[in-house]
Every structure is written in C-alpha cells, then in structure tokens.
Structure 1
Amino acid sequence: MDQIQKRRGDYGLDAPIVVRNLLLMGAGFLLLGVVFFFIFQERLHWLGVMISLVFLVSFLVVSAEALYMIWSSKVGKFRERERLLDLVALQGKEKVLDVGCGRGFVLNAAARRLTVGKAVGIDIWNKQDQSGNDPDATRANSRTEGVAERVEIVDGDARRMPFSDNDFDVVVSSLVIHNIPNSEERCRALSEIMRVLKPGGRFAVLDFQHVKEYSDAFERLGAIEVRIVGPHWLMFPPVRIITGRKAMDSPSILEPHL
C-alpha cells in the first residue's frame, strides 16, 4: 500500500469552481451572521440571535458540502474508481477506452490492471470540470504511476470519437457524460460507446446525473445485461454506475434512437 501511495499521480480537484463557490458562500453566511448578531444585540436581541442562527446553519451546511467534495476528490473517488473497474472484470489482455479521461484517474488505474493490454484515454481537456486538466498532466501521471507504456492519449470529443467500429473490449467513463448539455448529444456519446465496443464487450459509466436516461438509452441501443449499481456515497454528489454488455449479434454501426 505504501508503494502504491508513493506512486499515485496528481488528479486535482473535481468541480473546482463549485467547491470555490461553496466556500465563498459559507464565508458570506458566516460574515452576515456575525453582522446581524451585533446589529440587533442591543435592540430586539432575540431577532438578532435567530437571524444569526439561520446564517450559521447555512454556513455549516455549505461548508460541509465543500469539505465533502474535497474529501471525495482526495479519498472517496479512489475507492469508487476501484469499484467501477471491478464491475468490468478486467483480465489483463483487454483494450480499454476511458471516455473523458481527464488527468488519467481511471485510465491509469485500468492500465495498472493490464498485463499485455492497452488503455486509451480520450478527452477535450475542459479545465472547469477538473483543476489542471491537460494532456501533459495525464502523461505525467501515467509516468508517475509506471504505466506509460500501456497508455495512449487521444484528443477528441465523446460524441464523435476517432476510433473504428468494434475497437475496444471495455469502455469506462467517470463523471463525464453529464457535462454534455442536452439529452440528444448525451445519447450520441452513449451511441459512440456502443459503436466502438466489440460484440460482447463490457461498459461501465459512473455519474451522478441522468443515470436512468443512460440506462434507457443503452437498452435502446441494443445493450444487454444493463443495470444500475448504487447509489454510492463515497463521492459527493452520490454516484451510480451503469453497467452492461454489447450483444454478440450487434450491428457494426449503431445509430442513436432519438
């Protein structure tokens, strides 16, 4: 465990803008609570106390949410990542795709489980979704964790992936698809996942929004054994994982049913 910890890459903070805003809101509520308490301490003392208590509770709630998100980025998501990969049961020889790989958090963990296989990560490197999101950071983390020879980084959009049909044994994705702004485009990304999977290939998508939508879309696209696992509270907001398999008799090209 100590050796693994020493070789862990730097995977930043998830949703850094949300965390920052929550901390700022907490500081604002605390300041307002103090101000209202002193304004009303001489007259209508009870009113000042009540208003101050409301602001204090608000401060505690939003600060707890911010701290929960930080804990989730630094501790909880590592445990949830292993659960995600356990669900696709890698044997070591697979070609794995991580859709929206970011700094390589799931990508490198998948590569660790491979022997002669290969892990490919695709992303558009949106820094709003993860602090320090950059392909150079991804490559640096792969080197840090000693898996660079089994990792490939590709610049591309999940809705139009530059891969051949039936190219991958396993496709995974974590906290990515919800960032696509509308249902039609999200379905297109899920269709791409099915397209690039080999017949019989497995997928696992982790997210905290639109999970039932994903499940229904995968079934419309012909996936089998589709199920939703969770919710799991090791991450905040709590997440679910949609798993399934591409049928052996699936057509080579799948179009989304919109």
Structure 2
Amino acid sequence: MKQRKKRRGNYGIDAPIVVRNLSLIGAGLLLLGAGAIVTFSGRLQWLGKVVGLVCLISFLILAAEVLYMIWSSKVGKFRERERLLDLVAIRGDEKVLDVGCGRGLVLNAAARRLTTGRAVGVDIWNKQDQSGNDPDATRRNAVIEGVAERVEIVDGDARNMPFADNEFDVVVSSLAIHNIPGSEERFRAITEMMRVLKPGGRFAVLDFQHVREYADAFEQLGAADVRIIGPHWLMFPPVRIVTGRKETERNGSLIHHL
C-alpha cells in the first residue's frame, strides 16, 4: 500500500526585507554596469568595460546570496530544525516551549515528536523577521501538519514570558533571540528560558549571531553541559546551536539530572 506523503505547512521567507534589498541592489548594479558599457566610448571605453565587469561580478555575488537565502528558507531550515530537535532528545511526553515560534517551523516539528506531551509557541509576531509572520498562519500550519491538538500559541515577549517557573521540560528557540536589541535584554530572554525550564530540563538555541553570548549567559545562570555546536551551512547565514540543561536541585544542592 502506498504511503501518503505528509503535508508541509508554509513557513515563509526568513529576513524578507534583506532578500528584497539584496535583489534590488543587484538589479541596480546590473543596470549600472550595462549603462557604463554603453555610455563610455572612444578612449574611455576601457573604463566602461571595467565598471561593467565589476558590476557584473557584484551582481552575481548578490544573486548567489539571494538564492542561498531562499534555498535556506525553503529547504535548509527544515533540515536544520530536525538537527535542533534531535539535540534535545524528545521522548514524547514532554511539555515543549518554542521561544519566538514564528509560523511554527520548529513548534510543529516538535509537536510531531510528541505523543502525550504538548508544544507551546510564544512570539510577538514581527513581520520584518519572517514574511507573513502571524499567529493565524501558525495555527493554519499546525492544522496542515496534523498537530493542532498538541499545539498552543501564546502572545508574549521572550524577556517576560507569561509562564510559571519550572513549567517546561524542553525549551528551544530558532533565529529569534538575535532580534532583541542589546546584550542586557538578550540576557533577560535567556534568564526567562532558564526560569520556565524544569530542573533537569533541556534547551537548544539556534542562531547566527551572539551564540557565544548565549552560551556564557546559560553558564552564568547555572546551566550544565553547555555546548556550542556548529557552524552549520544548511542555513544562510550559517548557524550554530547552544545546548545544555538545567541542573536538578535536591537536598539544597545542585546535582546532575539522571
């Protein structure tokens, strides 16, 4: 019997403004180069050729970056999210939090790995960070992927999340924390992740900026086994992942969770 192919939601283009601007700059350079070749003649013909060649090379570099970013959004990030979730070793009965869940790329993939557990996504829905970023889009993707009954979506800022202490078994985040301006504010977000994570709980944060800063913050807050994994080139810009766990407190002392 032929197995039905799983449906996949629409998770948009990451950094759509960057993709648009690079495309416009590239097109402008191509036109500038063509104009220089046509304009300069006679003794200055060589100058037109040089300008045209420089513009052409610049256009090709920008075009390659745009295509890489689109491939990253349509293919690479799906592979990278699985790596991220593999690192937190979801069993199926956990309560998982995705900080900055966007349209649900990691959130819904986590929900697919759950049986009796639940996946919660929190976001402020900034459309500059991802095209079509909206909670309704996240809900539609959860329905498309057949995990809506295991998914909950919450409006909230990563620096002040509306959750109780020690509420989640697993906390993950992908391409979200770097959007918070200022190291002190990013530290607040890391602090909140540790606050809502249960003792013994696992975390994994994927990003292309400030990754060492995140790792240092987790260690400062008492996390155990903090590692930086990567870089990985399936996404553009290349990303790294910070992993670790919150230690378990027993009899007034911190011990490793077994």
Alignment TM class, shorter chain as reference: over 0.9
Mapping of 1:201-220 within 5 angstroms? 201-220=201-220
Equivalenced residues, count: 248
Residue in 1 that maps onto 2:228: 228
Which amino acid in structure 2 is aligned with residue 216 of structure 1? D
| Equivalent position of 1:8 in the other structure | 8
The secondary structure found in structure 2 opposite 1:44 is helix
Q: 2:81 — aligned with what?
A: 81
Cα offset, 1:43, TM superposition: 3.2
**TM-score calculated relative to the size of structure 1:** 0.94
Structure-2 residue corresponding to 1:256: none
Whole-angstrom CA distance in 1 between matches of 2:102 and 2:55: 37
**Match of residue 59 from structure 2:** 59
The answer as to 2:25 corresponding to 1:21 is no
Match of residue 253 from structure 2: none
Once the two structures are superposed, residues 215-256 of structure 1 have per-residue CA deviations (whole angstroms, 9 ceiling, x without a partner) of: 001000000000000000000000000000001129xxxxxx
Using the size of structure 2 for normalisation, the TM-score is: 0.94
**3-state SS in 2 of match to 1:230:** strand
How many Å apart are 1:47 and its aligned residue? 1.4
What whole-Å deviation, never above 9, does each CA across 1:67-92 have from its counterpart, x for those lacking one? 11000000000000000000000000
Distance 1:27 1:138 in 2: 33
Partners of 2:43 and 2:59 lie apart in 1 by 24
Misfit runs of 4+, over 3 Å: none
Give the distance between the partners of 1:42 and 1:131, measured in 2 at CA: 48
* 1:43 aligned counterpart, secondary structure: helix
Could you tell me how far 1:99 is from its partner in structure 2? 0.2
**Alpha-carbon deviation of 1:2?**
6.1
Runs of 5+ consecutive residues of structure 2 not aligned to the other structure: 251-258
Report matched runs for 1:231-250 at 5 Å.
Answer: 231-249=231-249
What residue number does 2:184 align with? Answer: 184
What fraction of aligned residue pairs are identical, expressed as a percent? 76
Partner of 2:200: 200
List aligned pairs for 1:125-144, cutoff 5 A: 125-144=125-144
| Structure 1 unaligned spans of 5+ | 251-258
Distance in 2, Cα, partners of 1:43 & 1:67:
38
Matches of 2:4 and 2:196, distance apart in 1:
37
CA–CA distance in structure 2, aligned partners of residues 107 and 162 of structure 1? 17
The offset of 1:202, in angstroms, is 0.2
Q: CA deviation at 1:140?
A: 0.6
Q: CA RMSD for the aligned pairs?
A: 1.1
State the Cα distance separating 1:42 from its structure 2 match: 3.2
Report the residue type matching 2:22 in the other structure: L
Secondary structure at 2:42 match in 1: coil
